[in-house]
Every structure is written in structure tokens, then in C-alpha cells.
Structure 1
Amino acid sequence: MKAVPGPTDHVVVVGAGLSGLACALHLLGAGRRVTVVEREASPGGRSGRVNLGGYQVDTGPTVLTMPHLADEAFAAVGDSLHARVELMALDPAYRAAFADGSTLDVHTDGEAMEAEVRRFAGPAQAAGYRELRAWLERLYKAQMRRFIDTNFDSPLQLLHPDLARLAALGGFGRLDRRVGRFLSDPRLRRIFTFQALYAGVAPAQALAAYAVIAYMDTVAGVWFPRGGMHALPRAMADAAGDAGADLRWSAEVNALERSAGRVRAVRLATGERIACDAVVLSCELRSAYELLGLSPRRPVRLRHAPSAVVLHAGTDRTWPGLAHHTLSFGAAWDRTFDELTRTGRLMSDPSLLITRPTAHDPALAPPGKHLHYVLAPCPNTEVGPSAATWRDLGPRYRDSLAATLERRGLEGFRDSIQEELLVTPLYWTAQGHAAGSPFSVSHTFAQTGPFRPRNLVRGLDNVVLAGCGTTPGVGVPTVLISGKLAAARVTGHVRRTPPVRPPASAAVSASASAVLAGGAHDPS
């Protein structure tokens, strides 16, 4: 593995999102002096927090899987995730509601899920689920260490027996077709393939290897931190501060001072100069390139994942059919993905993620009130409406979403709203997200593994990238790994991810889920 040459005693980490904070903790654990510089007034990055009239709104991911990856970062400084954050294991992980009126609770316990599938679709599908679960477990084991939790220096690193194992498992076939070998019921297939959307690829085109995301959601367990998802980056920042990190809030970087192929200092918008031996840029990939004065050297330009519209609604009521996470599927499926990724139209029959965090933490809303998060995937601004168009389109689409929810059983939804926040590609663009997408660079084959933008920068010896645009990719688990891999580039030491294990029972109660997929390539 290539590592930063020369001195690395003092490292500046730009950005205090999950990847930047994970990197900082791993660097501190390796004995480095660390300064974290964040343009916002608090940690979190995408996992931010807004107080909306007494409703505590998570502005980013609402689901958490693989919490042991976060615990690994805490452990680097002798700390513990479970000492700082109360996690609650969600059961069901999701409730799936289909257009035909049927519902299915997704359990991560194998026996419970087999019984639920048998009730929902009969014994043959239950047997298929058991086979699918075993395949997902083998797929995860074949991928994690070799293709996800690794720093790629060359595509030749793929030439390993694990590649043959992945091929033998059908990992290079198509996701929808491979899952269809186990489950013939199209509703069940959706449960194990919809995650490909967040990787930016339709299930019919996605590699079957991306089913590792479904492993995380449906096998490894889904969690929710008391206090919401923002409790995780807040706890990570506290742990980093206690371990000696210099945390700078409301501090925007506007230049990097360079000489002889190295960054010598980070300059803030205030004019302050922070001298350093190495820099980790965990900001948006596009922002990192702009700071570096470079562009990715690739044969074709980067493609970005679809975007999303999110309606945060503080309400005076809730609905008994909603679980903590509810997947509300429309009747359309293939057409939906075509609209999102090719034609650029808004979903004509939307599939939605509805999250109700107050189901497990009522303190996130005023007494007797409820908080709902409605996520509707939409085209990014490269293939769909421009960011500016969303200024007028957003309110109309919000009304359309509310009408859809009411048709699907959430009667009186519009009248129940007391506080709301609508997030569209206009907002994501203003935050610096390329193509107006919070899901960054899509996980096409040409943008995955050793072909994803690399976390080393050609021509600059001491700059490392972290975050969802680089190795290994999009999602909470992967950005935590990304921070660890960035730290390894600085220290030269690889800390291997331990096997999945349940959190310490004393700290556990209930929680939520995330997204994954792999990757690396060259930002220069």
C-alpha cells in the first residue's frame, strides 16, 4: 500500500463529516497531532441537525447499519461507541407496503424473517429466502476485506483468489436476475434490490455484488441512535476532542499553500494559516478538486447518482401502519428507474422511504408530536430538472408527495403538518453537491473498486481524500471505512475491520440502516 512519504506528525483534516471524524480518530490513535477544520458551526457534514420549531431534524441519513465500523474508530483512541451513544436495534428493520395493499415486516433475525416470508408468500419463497440469506453472507465475506476495506493502488490488486470466489458466487451477474434465482415473488425481490438505487444504478443493470448492501440492511442488523443520527458524529467529535484533536468550527478553508509537491499549510477564509505535514480532504469531491486546482483524470467524465427530495414534517399525529422505517412501493418498478437514471422525469408512480424517528425517541419532537421524514428519489440535475427549476417545482412536488401519502393510507397528512422543511436538488446544489445529488458519484462498474476516484492525489505527496466520492463509496458504513483508509494512507498502517458482531448488550435497545458499495481511482 502506498503511503504519504516524509513527515506526517501534524495532519489537518478538512471536513467534520463521518469520514473526516473517523479519519481523525484513527490518526489520533496512531499518535498524530490532528486539527479538524469544519466550515459549519457543528460536526456532522451530511449528518447534520436542524431545530425546526422544537422538532430535532436529521438532515442526512436516517438509517444506520454496521455500527461496529463506528466503534472501530472510537476504539482507535481507547474509547467506545456504546459508552457514548445508546443504540437501539430496530425490529422490524423496515416495513414494506406494496401497491396491492400487502405488507411485509423485514426482520434481520433469520428465523423471524423466514416465518414472515412464509406468511407473506408461502413456503417455497421462505425456502428461497433462506438460500438467499446464506448467499448474502458468503458474498459479504468474499467482498469486505479484499474489495471494500482496502486501499487500491492498481487494478492488478483485483487479481486475487477472492475475485474468483466473487465470480463463483455470481457477483458479476446482474443484481435483479441473481436475486430472482432465489425469489420469484417480485415484491420480495424489491426488498433485496432497491438499495442499488442509492448506489446510482437500477437493479436490472447493477452488479450482483451490490447485494452486499442488502446484506447490511437485512442480515447484519439495523440500528437507531437515541438522539437521532446526528448523535453519532457529535459523539465522534467529542471523542476526538477528548483524545486531543484541535476542533475548529465555522472555519472555512479557501486555499492550500503548496511547494515542492506538498501542501505546507491550510489557509482559512479569515486569513489564518495552519501549517501541516499532511492534509486529508473529506469535503465534497468537487470541492476537494477545486481546492487542489485539479480535475479528475479519467477517459470519461464522472457520472453521479440520482438525487432525492426530502420532506421533513413535524406533525400533530402519526399513523399506526408506519414502522420506524416504512418502504412505500408504487406499482411501477423498471419504469421508475428509467425515469430516475435515463429520461430525467420525476417518478410517475413513486416508491418512498418514510422514517418516523419519534417511534423510538419521542424527545425528538415536542410533547405529543411526531416527526416524519419522507424521501423520494428524483433525477439529478445532469439528467433531470436544473437546480434553479426546483425553486418553483419543489412546492408543487411537495403537494404531489403529500397527496400520494394520503392515497396510500396516511389520511389527513397535509392537515397534520405543523412544521416542515422541504429539501430538493436546489438545496443539495447550494451545499456543493455535484449534479445536485447527496449520493455523489454513482457505482457503475467504471466507478467502483480500483476504478473509483482514488484517495491519493497524483502530483501531491501529502494529500489524501476521504468521503463518499472516493474509496470505497456511498453510504454510512463506507464513509466510515473511507476515513479509516485515508488515515492508513498517512500512517502506513492498515487496521483491519473485525467481523460483524452485536453491540455490547448493556448499551443496546433499538436503531436504523444505511447504504454501501465499493470503490477507488485517481483525483489528479
Structure 2
Amino acid sequence: MKDVAAPADRPLLDRGTRHPLKTVAGPTDRVVVVGAGLAGLSAALYLTGAGRQVTLLERADHPGGRVGRYQGPDYEIDCGATVLTLPELITDALAAVGRTPETCEPALRIHQLAPSYHAKFADGATLRVFADPDAMAEEVALVCGPAEARRYRRLRDWMARVYAAEYGEFMDTNFDSPLDMVRTPEKRRALAALVRLGGFGRLGAKVDRFLRDPRLARLFTFQALYAGMPPAQALAVYGAIPHMDTSLGVYFPEGGMRAIAAAMAEAFTAAGGTLELGTEVTGVDYAGRRAERVRTADGRAFDCDALVLTADLGAIDRFGVRRRRGLRAAPSAVVAHGTVPAEVARTWPVQAHHTIEFGAAWDKTFAEIAGRRGRLMSDPSLLLTRPALTEPGLYITRTDGQHEPFSLLAPCPNLDAAALDWPRIGPAYLRELLDVLEERGYEGMAAHFTVDHLDTPQTWRDQGMLAGTPFSAAHVFRQTGPFRSRNFPRTSDNVVIAGCGTTPGVGVPTTLLSGKLAATRITGDRRPLEMKPRVPAR
């Protein structure tokens, strides 16, 4: 695929204006991308499709980054994100090199989950979350009453309008300055629409104006945690996140989330890109303001005309890019991965791929995990993931019968908010969580969950992540949109940043977009293979 963009040494004129978008100046034929997570893979695909010679360096022995895998004794399990939304963004990245999910080797097959989630509340009530509006309204009417179902439809319509106004002009776009928010007629119209929709109020308060049942309100506000904020503090523009989660659908790829990274990596190398696994980058050589060479731990050096860094903000300084000071980190998480005997799991009160197990507390829970002085949840809300219920091929057959892979995620404070001794307290805290689940009806959980991997904030810090959180910088106002850490640092002329710490932010879809936006800074093509925001039926 040929690059038809403006030459990289000339600023690209943004749509509808004469204001130049900053791009890498000078030659950009050879690009090194550091990190084969979703951001790095996305950037590498777009750059390869634009005719660049791309070398992708990854320190692990497999691609994926935070969407990677752990190897158990006789099985593999996703070790990172388990919730996939907007799979179109994967299709777009593959299309940059002329591939589709079906033509990957092996084929990448992605299926929509129905329901997307299954919620269980402290009062024993359960509620399934469907992307289909009629199915969801019927479920809400059954659990919360017909009046609440009508209110849900109005909330759904509001979230769709927020998403439509936000996606093209504020998510899928590069910013050089806060003034870029109003530089084009399209952005001014989108900003005006967000103001009319109340997008700069608070998400929790906005949702409460639509809904009366506090249980239902939780389903459309817990996603604020993805942005690192309590719902009472998160801007209402983040209504776009529950819209993606609850209206646009949650998906699962055959083989697990790790299959996405494998497919993207295969498409990249088949298109001529070079992928070096087990290759840790130790430094970058600069000539003035330009990165010229990337050095690795095995003594090799890779020359470059442009460099894409996907390192976490907590470790980016060692590559010659100064991290913005005073960043506020998002809350972190404790995540346990392992297996459970299938006969035990079949007795549990909920049989679903994704279960959100809500405690009774709500505002207090967010205050505990997201406050400046963090504490462990006194009444935990947890995410349980059981992928074999969707893909039976993931069951593990052992001499004592079938077992299923199982993951438990518990939000917790980051290490800036609570400098806890996780190597010491981690196993004990996990036992407390398992006891809580036992009390909530998950019989046999404490005795039969075999834990093969336990990740804590210390795990993330050891990997170089900001404040020991895999969710990077929180989306407070001063770290959102054009105020977020720039993907084109002012200190260099040819180094670009991608990943969840930069534009547009945290999450699988936004991380994929960040790779595309980083590639744009190098190719000059403002919107390669543009994806229109999807608006579902209301």
C-alpha cells in the first residue's frame, strides 16, 4: 500500500483549516518501534502499509504486551485485558497491510458475547447486559421494572450521542495544542454538541438523572474506573466508555485475547516487517534532537530515521524522553490467574464469561481505591472471567477430570496512594477475596482455585509501569484529550509515543488508536483507513 500523504518534512494541513499538524521532519524510511503490545503492533502495521521499513522490538518471547499470555503447567491464559470492544479497529490495522482477520494465519475469528456481562448484586439480584436495545430493555424491565427500562433507553440514546460527538474529533485525532479543540468547524460543532449534552458535568450525577435504580446505575458508571476516576468525579464525556461496553458489544476472539496480538504480528511480518522477540531495548543514541540508533541488551544496534516508543510512562525516561512531572496515576489491580475444577465451577450462582460481582458499598469503594490515600476495598467489587464457557476448547483435561481457566480481578490503590508491601500481603489478600466469594455463593472457590500467577501493583512496578498500575495516568481533566501526555514530545524531532499513557488514553480500543495516531505523526496521513463511529440501534 503506497503512502499518499503529504511529505513528512512538510506539516500536514488538518481537515477544514490551514493549521498545520506537526509530523516528523526529514527522512522516515526506517522506523524502529519499541514494544509489540497492541499500540506497537498497530503502529507497525500502519507504517508498513505506508511503505516504511519497520523493525519491531519486544523484550518478551511473545507479542501482546498488556494483552499477553501466561503459560500454566498444561494451558495458556490471557494475562491482561479480557474485555474487547470495537473490534473494527483490529480490522482497520490489518487492512493497512491488505489483510483481514479471516486471511490471517491462523484466521482470527472474533465473536460477540451475548450477554456482554452478567452482573450480580449484594442483594442477590442478577442482571444480564445485552448490546441489543430490545433485549437489554426487556432485561431491565424484568429486574428493575418497565419505567426503568424506558429510562434506560433514554440513557442509551444520550451515551450514543456523546460517543458520536467524541469519537472522530477527540478520540481518533492528534492534538498539538488545546487550541486544536476549536481549530476546525468539525471540532467546534462536536465540542458544542458535548456541551449541550452535559459532557463536562460529572458522569455519576448525569447517569443518576436518567436512572432511579442504583444497581442499574452501577452498570453504566463502573467503567469510570478504566479512566482512573470515581464516577462522582469523572467527566460525563466518559459516557462514551459505557456506551462501547454496553451498547456496541463485548467480543471474544477464538483462542483468547492473545490471539489478537498473534494475528497482528503475523500480518506484520508477512507484509515484510521485522519482529525481534526476546530483545530488550537498553538505550537510544541521539544526534542533537534526533534518535539515530536503538541499542539492545544483546549488543545489537538498530539504525532508525524515526522511533516509536510504547514504553510505559513510568519507564520512558530511560529512552531519552522526559516524562511529564506530577502525573496522577490511575488505581491498580490485583489479578489472580489459574484453574478451577469444572464440576466445582458449575455449582456457582452465575455461569457467564464475564461476571461483575458487586459489593454493597459503592462511593466508599471508589474512595478507598481511587483516593489520594488509598486502602484496600472493605466490601469488594470484582471481575470474574471464565472464557471456557464461551470457547469449550479452552477446558483442560486432567487425570482428575476437566478444569477451566479462571481469572479474578480486584481493583486496588496504586503504589503512590498506598505503598503496601505486596510481596508479603498479596497471597493473604487473595485468600480474603476468595473467602468473600465463598460467602457470596461461589462454593469451593477458596479450596479449589489453583493459582498459577498472582499479579499485584508490585508486578506492574517491576515492569516499569507508573505507580505500579497497568492503567497508566488517570483521566483527570489535566490529563485528558489535548492535556494528556503528548504523543509527539517537544524534546525530539523524530520520536513518537504510543500506548495507554498518551493520546487518546486507556483501554484496548484507545491503545489501538494510539498506534494509528503515532503512525500518522510519521507518515503524515492524518486518518489512514478512517473508521466512522458506529451508532447502534436505540
Task: Summarize the alignment of residues 34-45 of structure 1 with structure 2, pairs less than 5 Å apart.
Answer: 34-45=54-65
**Equivalent residues in 2 for 1:339-418 (5 A)?**
339-342=368-371, 343-367=373-397, 368-386=402-420, 389-418=421-450
3-state DSSP of counterpart to 2:396: coil
Cα offset, 1:162, TM superposition: 1.1
Q: Distance in 2 between matches of 1:443 and 1:385?
A: 21
Provide the C-alpha distance between the structure 2 equivalents of 1:147 and 1:222, rounded to a whole number of angstroms.
Answer: 22
What residue in structure 2 maps to residue 498 of structure 1?
Answer: 531
**What is the one-letter code of the residue matched to 1:119?**
L
Structure 2: distance between partners of 1:486 and 1:246: 18
SS at match of 1:369: strand
- For residues 533 and 235 of structure 2, the distance between their equivalents in structure 1, rounded to whole angstroms, comes to 23
Distance in 2 separating the partners of 1:420 and 1:459:
43
1:101-180 correspondence runs (5 A): 101-159=124-182, 160-180=188-208
Residue type of the alignment partner of 1:91:
A
Q: Could you say which residue in structure 2 is the equivalent of 1:322?
A: 351
Q: Distance in 2 between matches of 1:133 and 1:114?
A: 10
Question: How much does 1:501 deviate?
Answer: 6.0
CA displacement 1:41-84 (0-9 Å, x = unmatched): 11011111112122311110011000001110000000012443
Aligned-pair CA distance for 1:247? 0.6
2:319 counterpart SS class: helix
Deviation at 1:418, TM superposition (A): 3.6
Kept after mapping to 1: 8 A contact 2:321/2:491: no
Identify if the C-alpha distance between structure 1 residues 158 and 293 changes in structure 2 by more than 3 Å, giving closer, same or farther. Answer: closer
Q: Deviations over 1:112-146 (max 9, x none)?
A: 00000000111110000111111111111100011
2:223–2:241 CA contact under 8 A, matched in 1: yes
CA contact (8 A) 1:56 1:365 kept: no
Could you say which residue in structure 2 is the equivalent of 1:515?
A: none
Are the equivalent residues in 1 in contact too, given 2:472–2:501 (CA < 8 A)? Answer: yes
- 1:509 paired residue number: none
Q: Is the 8 A contact 1:53 1:419 kept in 2?
A: no
The residue matched to 2:149 in structure 1 has which SS? helix
C-alpha distance in structure 1 between counterparts of 2:149 and 2:75, whole Å: 41
1:451 corresponds to:
483
Is residue 468–residue 478 contact of structure 1 (8 Å, CA) maintained in 2? Answer: yes
- Superimposed CA distance per residue, residues 212-259 of structure 1 (whole angstroms, 9 cap, x where no aligned partner): 000101011110011110000011000000000011111111111111
In the alignment, which residue of structure 2 is the partner of 1:430? 462
Q: Which runs of 4+ in 1 moved over 6 A?
A: none
> Residue 496 and residue 162 in structure 1: after superposition, are their counterparts in 2 closer, same or farther (change >3 A)?
farther
**Local SS of the residue matching 1:392:** helix
More deviation in 285-294 or 322-331? 285-294
CA gap 1:238/1:142 in 2 versus in 1, 3 angstroms: same
Q: State how far apart, in whole Å, the 2-side matches of 1:447 and 1:419 are.
A: 36
- CA deviation profile, 1:424-455 (whole Å, cap 9, x unmatched): 11111111111110100000011000000000
TM (norm. structure 1) is: 0.93
Pair 1:281 & 2:309 matched: yes
On the 8 A contact 2:67/2:257 being kept in 1, the answer is: yes
Find out whether 1:232 has 2:260 as its counterpart. Answer: yes
| Aligned partners of 2:96 and 2:529 also within 8 Å | no
Counterpart AA for 1:337 = F
Q: Deviations over 1:233-290 (max 9, x none)?
A: 0110000000000111111111111113111111111221111100000121232222
Task: Tell me which amino acid in the other structure corresponds to 2:172.
Answer: D
Q: Which residue of 1 aligns with 2:338?
A: 313
- 5+ residue gaps, structure 2, are 1-20, 183-187
- The aligned counterpart of 1:506 is none
**2:313 and 2:323 in contact (8 A); partners too:** no
Find the aligned partners of 2:488 and 2:415 in 1 and give their Cα distance: 28
Q: Matched residue pairs, number?
A: 498
Stretches of structure 1 that go unaligned for 5 or more consecutive residues are: 503-524
Letter of the 1:232 counterpart: I
Paired residue secondary structure (1:244) = coil
**Whole-angstrom CA distance in 1 between matches of 2:323 and 2:387:** 40
In structure 2, what is the Cα distance between the partners aligned to 1:130 and 1:241? 45
Shift of 1:414: 1.9
**1:85 maps to 2:114:** no
Tell me which residue corresponds to 1:22.
42
Q: Which residue of the other structure, out of 29, 33, 37, is the alignment partner of 1:13?
A: 33
Match of 1:522 in 2: none
Tell me which amino acid in the other structure corresponds to 2:364.
R
CA contact (8 A) 2:314 2:467 kept: no
Counterpart residue number, 2:362? 333
Q: Which amino acid aligns with 1:358?
A: A
Superposed CA offset, 1:443-501 (max 9, x none): 00110000000001213110000000001100000000000000000000022532356
Aligned identity (percent) is 52
Alpha-carbon distance between aligned partners in 2 of 1:113 and 1:333, rounded to the nearest angstrom: 23
Partner Cα separation in structure 2 for residue 358 and residue 422 of structure 1: 20
In the alignment, is the contact (CA less than 8 A) between 2:315 and 2:466 conserved in 1?
no
More divergent stretch after superposition (171-180 vs 310-319)? 310-319
What secondary structure is seen at the aligned counterpart in 1 of 2:411?
strand
User: Which amino acid in structure 1 is aligned with residue 292 of structure 2?
Assistant: R
Specify the alignment match of 1:511 in structure 2. Answer: none
- TM-score with structure 2 length normalisation? 0.91
Q: 1:33 aligns with which of 53, 77, 90?
A: 53
Kept after mapping to 2: 8 A contact 1:66/1:500: no
Equivalent-residue separation in structure 2 for 1:397 and 1:472 (angstroms): 33
The 1:165–1:110 alpha-carbon spacing in structure 2 relative to 1, beyond 3 Å, is same
Matches of 2:337 and 2:165, distance apart in 1: 38
In 2, the alpha carbon distance for the partners of 1:330 and 1:497 equals 41
CA spacing shift, 1:283–1:61, aligned 2, 3 Å = same
User: Displacement, 1:194?
Assistant: 0.1
Answer with 259-268 or 18-27: which moved more.
259-268
1:71 and 1:82 in contact (8 A); partners too: no
Aligned to 2:216: 188
Partners of 2:36 and 2:64 within 8 A in 1: yes
CA RMSD, Structure 1 to Structure 2 (Å): 1.4
Structure 2 equivalent of residue 200 of structure 1: 228
Q: 1:116 corresponds to which letter in structure 2?
A: E
